[in-house]
Amino acid sequence: MPDQLFSSLTSLQTLHLYHNEISGVGRNLFRGLVKLTDLNIMDNMLSTLPSDALHDLRALKTLELSTNDIEMLLPGTFTPLKTLKDIKLRRNKIRGIPRNVFKDLEGLETLYIEDNMVTELDDQTFRNLSRLTYLDLQSNSISRISDRAFVNLPTLRNLVLTGNHIRTVPTTALQQVRKLCMSLCLRNSLQKNLRQFPYQSAHRIGI
């Protein structure tokens, strides 16, 4: 798609490009869409997203990138998008989540990364997502969770880790949100060494 294809549509608020065969997005494709709040590019053939491709979208609230071939999230991709409330990255090929890739998205409320190939969650992967309420990481290949993977998530209510390969329950990691989370689902994830469950205040637990 040509760069700046939509640049004259400065009042556009919704852009749906789903169910096409888009294989690439140029760094200037969305230039000028300063009022866009809803962007849907699901069910295409994207394998990567330039780190600055979304930087003009300062009013964006909903980003749908599910059902593509994205393998990596580049640092800086979401940095200026302070108004984002919902990110969907379902059914891609993401193998790892760079540290701080979601850093300081202060308005983010829901984040869906299920059905990818993520193998581990590093320190501060989701740091300072101060309004995040729902985090879905089910159906990945997660075997290791760092002790500080969930630092500073004061509003988290639902954490879904179903269908992973977690070897142990990371006590310290879960303690970061143990007083806040309403629902924790680990079904078909825990493989061994479940001696004591460190999560005392979840209202609903699925193992």
Domain range holding 187?
94-207
Residues 178 and 111 in one domain: yes
CB 60 within 8 A of CB 37: yes
Q: Is 18 contained in some domain?
A: yes
Predicted local confidence at residue 167, as pLDDT = 77
Domains contained in the chain, number: 2
Positions in the chain whose pLDDT score sits under 70: 169-171, 175-184, 187-207
Q: Give the alpha-carbon dihedral of 190, 193, 199, 203, to 10 degrees.
A: 40
pLDDT, tens digit, 9 for 90 and up, residues 134-186:
999 999 999 988 888 888 888 998 999 899 988 776 667 776 665 556 666 77
**Which CATH number characterizes residue 16's domain?**
3.80.10.10
Q: Would the pTM count as exceeding 0.75?
A: yes
Q: Is 86 contained in some domain?
A: no
Predicted local confidence at residue 37, as pLDDT = 98
Predicted local confidence at residue 40, as pLDDT = 98
Q: Is 71 contained in some domain?
A: no
Residues 121 and 200 in one domain: yes
Residues 193 and 146 in one domain: yes
Q: Which two tokens stand for residue 207?
A: 């193992």
Predicted local confidence at residue 194, as pLDDT = 46
CB 179 within 8 A of CB 159: no
Predicted local confidence at residue 196, as pLDDT = 44
Predicted local confidence at residue 204, as pLDDT = 57
CA-based nearest residue to 160, from 190, 131, 185: 185
Predicted local confidence at residue 181, as pLDDT = 60
Distance CA 80, CA 123 (A): 22
Collapse the DSSP code of 141 into the 3-class scheme (helix H, G, I; strand E, B; otherwise coil) and give the result.
coil
Q: Is 75 contained in some domain?
A: no
Give the number of other CB atoms < 10 A from CB of residue 139: 21
